[in-house]
Structure 1
Amino acid sequence: MAIQESELILNPDGSVYHLNLLPEHISDTIIFVGDQDRVEKITKHFDTIEFSTQKREFKTQTGTYKGKRLTVLSTGIGPDNIDIVLNELDALVNIDLKTRKPKDTLTTLNIVRVGTSGSLQKDIPVDSFVLSTHGLDLNGMLHFYQIDSISNNDVENAFIDFTNWDNNKARPIVINNSKTLEAHFDGPNIHKGMTATAGGFYGPQGRVLRLPLFDASLNNKMDTFSYKDYRISNFEMETSVIYGLSKLLGHNALSLNAIIANRPNGTFSKNPKQVVENLIQYTLDKLVE
C-alpha cells in the first residue's frame, strides 16, 4: 500500500521535505554533526565534493575522502530533529519515492555521530574522546514507537530504582550501539560509557539559571550510578534517539563525542576547537580503513 502524501511529504522536485534530498544525493555512510558550521569543518578534508544543499538547520554535503564516498549532515540540536533526520534518510534508501511504497530489499546505512559533550566522570578528562556503548534516553520521544525489542529492561529498572525516577516522567530507555561500528572505532585512547540524552540543555541537564529543578540531586545520582559494567559517561541531546531509531529501522549507528568539559572537576578545554578537529580526523581515518 502506498504511503499517503500527508505522511511522507515530498517537495515539488521529489526530494524529502525537511532535508531537501534525493536518494542519489547521499552515501550509505553518513556522518552526523549537530552544528551546520561543522559540516565544512569535516568536508574541508575531502578530496572532492559532489553535492551540497541546505534547508533550515539541515546542511548536507557528499563527496569523497581518500576514495571513499561519504555524506556529512547537520542534524541541529535535540531528539525532535533526530526523529526528522533518521526517518527521512531511511525514506531515501528504503522507500520508492515515486510509488511511495517500501522497497522489497532494504538498505542499511552506517551512521557515525561526531559531537561534543561534557563528561560526568572525573576520570574522563577534557580533550578526550568518548564512544557511547549505549544511549540512555531521558526525553521520552522514543516512546511514540514500538521499542520493546530494543530496550534493556534490567539496566533501566536499576537506573529507575537508583535515581528514584518520578513516575510522571517518561520511563528511561537504554539502547545498544552498533557493536560492529564499536569494534571498528575502538582504540587505546577511547573512553567508553553510557551516554545520557536529555530533551533540553538547561533544566533537563541539571543547569540552574532562574528556575528551580524538579530533582536537584539527579546529576549526582547519574554520576554515581553503576550496574554491572554500566556507568554514565556523558550528557548530550541526540545519541539515544540516533541509536533507538537506527535499531528500529535496521541501520548501524555509533556516537563519538569530544569531551570539552568535565562537570565533576569543573574544567573546560583550553582549546575545544582542536579537540573537535582531532576527533574529526580520527573518524575520517577510521571510516576509510
Structure 2
Amino acid sequence: MDDSENPNSEVQYHLGIGPDDTAGPVLLPGDPERVPKIAEAWESVEETGHHREYRTMTGRYEGEPLTVTSTGIGSPGAAIAVEEHANLGTGTFIRVGSCGAIQPEMSVGDLVITTGAVRQEGTSKEYVREEYPATAHPEVTTALVAACEELGYDYHCGVTCSTDSFYAGQGRPGFGGFEAAEADGLVEELQNAGVLNFEMEAAALLTIANLYDLRAGAVCTVYANRVTGEFRTEGERRAGEVASTAAAILAAMDRVKADAGADRWHAGLTLDR
C-alpha cells in the first residue's frame, strides 16, 4: 500500500480515532445509538470518536478496559472497523447485535452465541476462498457462555447465517412482493441444516479475525422468530451486557493463562470470579 492509500498512520481514516482512543476488547454493534446504551452499564466511559456510522466510546467495566464502536449495517462496514482497530492494536472483537431466529424453540429476547457462520455475504469472499470456514474463537465463545450463565439469560449456541440483504437474502419479499430466486426454500434449507439465525456481520468478522490471528465472537438478541411470527425489540441491552461481562471474563482468563504459562484456555484451568 502506498502513502496515498494510508493518509494517516495513527488516526484511522474511517473510525477517526487514534491509539489513545481505544483500549481492551472492542464490542461491535451496528447501530450508533446502541453505543451509549451498551456503555451506560460501565463504571466509566468517554466518547472518543464519531465519524460517519462509526461511533466509539472507551471506558471500564468491572475494572477492565473496554471499547465499543458501531459499524453500521452489513459486513463491509464491520470489516473496516476490524481493519482499523487492528491497526491500533486491538486483538479481541465481539459482535453485539440483533437477529432473526429460524428455529421454532427460540424465543424473542433470547440470545444467540455464534460458534460459526454461513458466509452468505460478499465481504469475506474478498479476503479468502468460499470454502474457508468462519468460526468463532473458542475463548470468546467460552466467555460469552460463562457471561450468559452468570447473568441468567437464556441463550443458544450454534451456526449463524450472515447475509448482505435483510430482504431478499433472508428469504423475505422485497418491494411489490419481489422474491429472489430460491427464496421460498431458503429458511427451510437452513433450518434443516441446524442454522439458528440470520444477521449481517458475523461471518465477515469471524473470517477476517481468523485470517489475522485475532480473537472474535458474536452474540445477538433475538428480535424476531421467522417460524412463529413473533417480532419485538425485547432485551435490547442483554447482548451488550453479556458482551461486556465476557470481555471482563476474557481478561481474567488471560491472567490465569499467563500465571499458568498456558498458551490457550483449557478445562484444567480455574477461573475465580
**Shorter-chain TM band:** 0.7 to 0.9
CA-to-aligned-CA distance 1:79-112 (integer Å, 9 cap, x gap)? 111221111111222xxxxxxxxxxxxxx61111
Instruction: Please list every run of at least 4 consecutive aligned residues from structure 1 whose deviation after the TM superposition is greater than 6 angstroms.
Output: none
**Counterpart in 1 of 2:252?**
none
1:39-87 CA-partner distances (Å, limit 9, x unpaired): 0001112222244220001000111122111101001010111221111
Counterpart Cα distance in 1 of 2:242 and 2:126: 35
Match of 2:187 in 1: 219
- Is residue 77 from structure 1 mapped to residue 73 from structure 2 by the alignment? yes
Structure 2 residue 233 is matched with structure 1 residue 266: no
**Aligned residue in 1 for 2:242:** 282
Q: Which amino acid aligns with 2:7?
A: I
| 1:112-160 deviations in Å (ceiling 9; x for gaps) | 111100101011221111100101111232222235xxxxxxxxxxxxx
Aligned residues of 1:19 and 1:55 also touching (Cα < 8 A) = yes
Cα pair 1:52 1:60 within 8 Å, conserved: yes
Partner of 2:86: 90
Q: CA–CA distance in 2 between the matches of 1:9 and 1:136?
A: 34
* TM-score, scaled relative to structure 2: 0.82
* Matching residue's letter, 1:194: V
Deviation string, structure 1 residues 137-184 (Cα, Å, up to 9, x no partner): 11232222235xxxxxxxxxxxxxxxxxxxxxxx57531100011112
**Structure 2: gaps (5+ residues):** 250-273
Matched residue of 2:84: which SS?
Answer: helix
Percent identical across equivalent pairs? 27
- The equivalences for 1:111-126 within 5 A come to 111-126=93-108
Tell me, yes or no, if the aligned pair for 1:130 and 1:191 is still in contact at 8 Å: yes
Which residue, out of 106, 113, 129, partners 2:111?
129
Deviations 1:211-233 (A, max 9, x none): 231112222211212xxxxx210
Which residues of structure 1 form unaligned runs of 5+? 94-107, 148-170, 226-230
TM-score, normalised on structure 1?
0.78
What secondary structure sits across from 1:276 in the alignment? coil
Aligned-pair CA distance for 1:257: 0.7
Q: Contact between 1:206 and 1:219, CA under 8 Å: does it hold in 2?
A: yes
Q: Are the aligned partners of 1:138 and 1:172 in contact in 2 as well (CA < 8 Å)? A: no
Contact 1:46 1:65 in 2 (8 A): yes
Deviates more, 1:125-134 or 1:41-50: 41-50
- Distance in 2 separating the partners of 1:25 and 1:70: 11
Q: Aligned residue for 2:24?
A: 28
- How many positions carry a matched residue from both structures? 240
